[in-house]
Structure formats: structure tokens, C-alpha cells
């Protein structure tokens, strides 16, 4: 049987030989965690997260290790970020566990649309919003109808959730003001549309 210190050495070699391998850092971190080397483990989880910002389980364990290392503030910061990531990805178990850890540290998890939806008895809709990091995640609600009577309106209707569309409307006004767009002008309209597509993840 391989001892824990041998496994740590193996994973450390793997992570050193292939520094861009998020799973190598994650495996090293887990072995360090098992050995109760909390600070070192947290650093390796941080590397896994740097390499793969969607790695929700890594945030959770990084937060746990920081807490064990007595770095409550750093733990809270990591767990809040991880909670939001896990939520956006629909990773419910890590999300809920991070929520628990945060409450244990005396803070409420970030407000996310899903919590409100769940509290209201909402269920996952099956609608997948195209916007990267859509805050509604699995609770995304489709728009009731296309917001414009053209091809782009149809595309938005098919791909973007109601919450993100509403957010874009607020952002769109800022774009118009800041770029001094005159939407009766074709070039301005094209620019406005391209900002919209980028914001909504349609480009």
C-alpha cells in the first residue's frame, strides 16, 4: 500500500511536471488535505481553480482548508466566489455545501436568482440561457415572446432568459448614452446589436 506521504510526493511530481494540469493540483491538494496540511492544500486548490475557474468542488475544498488554517476571511471570499460559480453551472451539491460552510462562518451565501426561485417553490426549468455565467442558472425562465419582431428578436427568445434580457435593457441604455448612439442611424443600430450579442453570449 502506498503511504500518504508517497502519494503526496507522486502528486507533487505530477503537478510540477505538468503545471497546467488542474486535476494534478487538485489531487495533490486533496492528499495534502488528508495529511492536514491545510495551508499547503489551500494553495494547491487555488492553483486548480486558477487553471479551471469552473472547478466548483475545488473552491469548496479550498474554502474548507482556509477555514481549518484559521483564515476565515480568505475562506469566505473563496466560498462566495465558488458558490456563485457552482450555482451558475448548476452544481448543486458543492453549491449547497459552500452555502453551509458560509453560514458556519457567520455569513449568508450570495444572493442568487436561484435561491429566490427555490424559496418561491421554483423548479429547474430545463431552459439553458446562452449568456455566460447567467445568474439564473438552472432556474432560467424563457421570455414570454420574442422581444423584437425580427431575426435577432427570435434568436434572443430562443437563447436568452428573461432575467438576462432585462439586465441587457438596462445595460443597453448605458451603451446608447456612452457611445452616443442614434438608433435611427443604421451604423449605430449595428453597433448596438453587436454589443447586445456580446453581452448576451450570442456572438
Task: Kindly list the residues in this chain that would bind Zn ion in the complex (CB under 5 A).
Answer: 129, 131, 134, 140, 161, 164
Residues in the chain: 203
Q: How far is the CB of 82 from Zn ion (least distance, A)?
A: 20
Beta-ladder partners of 142 = 161
Q: Please say which residue, 130 or 191, places its beta carbon nearer to Zn ion.
A: 130
Distances from the Cα of 186 to the Cα of 50, 87, 189, 190, 192, angstroms: 42, 39, 5, 6, 10
**Backbone dihedral angles phi then psi of residue 195, each to the nearest 5 degrees:** -65, -40
Beta-ladder partners of 161 = 142
Q: Please say which residue, 25 or 87, places its beta carbon nearer to Zn ion.
A: 87
Q: How far is the CB of 3 from Zn ion (least distance, A)?
A: 48
Q: How far is the CB of 178 from Zn ion (least distance, A)?
A: 23
| Cell numbers at 1, concatenated | 500500500
Q: Please say which residue, 8 or 164, places its beta carbon nearer to Zn ion.
A: 164
Q: How far is the CB of 129 from Zn ion (least distance, A)?
A: 3
Amino acid at each position: 500500500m502506498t503511504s500518504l506521504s508517497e502519494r503526496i510526493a507522486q502528486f507533487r511530481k505530477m503537478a510540477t511536471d505538468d503545471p497546467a494540469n488542474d486535476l494534478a493540483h487538485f489531487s495533490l491538494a486533496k492528499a495534502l488535505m488528508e495529511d492536514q496540511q491545510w495551508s499547503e492544500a489551500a494553495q494547491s486548490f487555488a492553483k486548480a481553480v486558477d487553471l479551471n475557474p469552473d472547478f466548483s468542488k475545488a473552491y469548496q475544498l479550498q474554502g474548507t482548508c482556509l477555514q481549518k488554517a484559521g483564515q476565515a476571511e480568505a475562506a469566505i471570499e473563496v466560498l462566495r466566489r465558488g458558490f456563485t460559480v457552482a450555482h451558475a453551472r448548476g452544481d448543486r451539491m458543492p453549491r449547497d455545501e459552500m452555502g453551509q460552510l458560509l453560514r458556519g462562518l457567520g455569513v449568508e451565501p450570495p444572493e442568487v436568482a436561484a435561491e429566490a426561485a427555490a424559496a418561491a417553490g421554483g423548479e429547474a426549468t430545463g431552459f439553458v440561457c446562452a449568456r455566460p455565467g447567467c445568474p439564473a442558472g438552472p432556474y432560467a425562465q424563457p421570455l414570454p415572446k420574442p422581444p423584437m419582431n425580427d431575426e435577432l428578436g427570435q434568436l434572443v427568445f430562443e437563447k436568452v432568459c428573461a432575467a438576462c434580457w432585462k439586465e441587457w435593457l438596462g445595460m443597453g441604455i448605458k451603451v446608447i448614452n456612452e457611445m452616443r448612439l442614434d438608433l435611427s442611424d443604421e451604423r449605430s443600430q449595428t453597433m448596438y446589436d453587436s454589443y447586445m450579442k456580446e453581452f448576451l453570449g450570442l456572438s
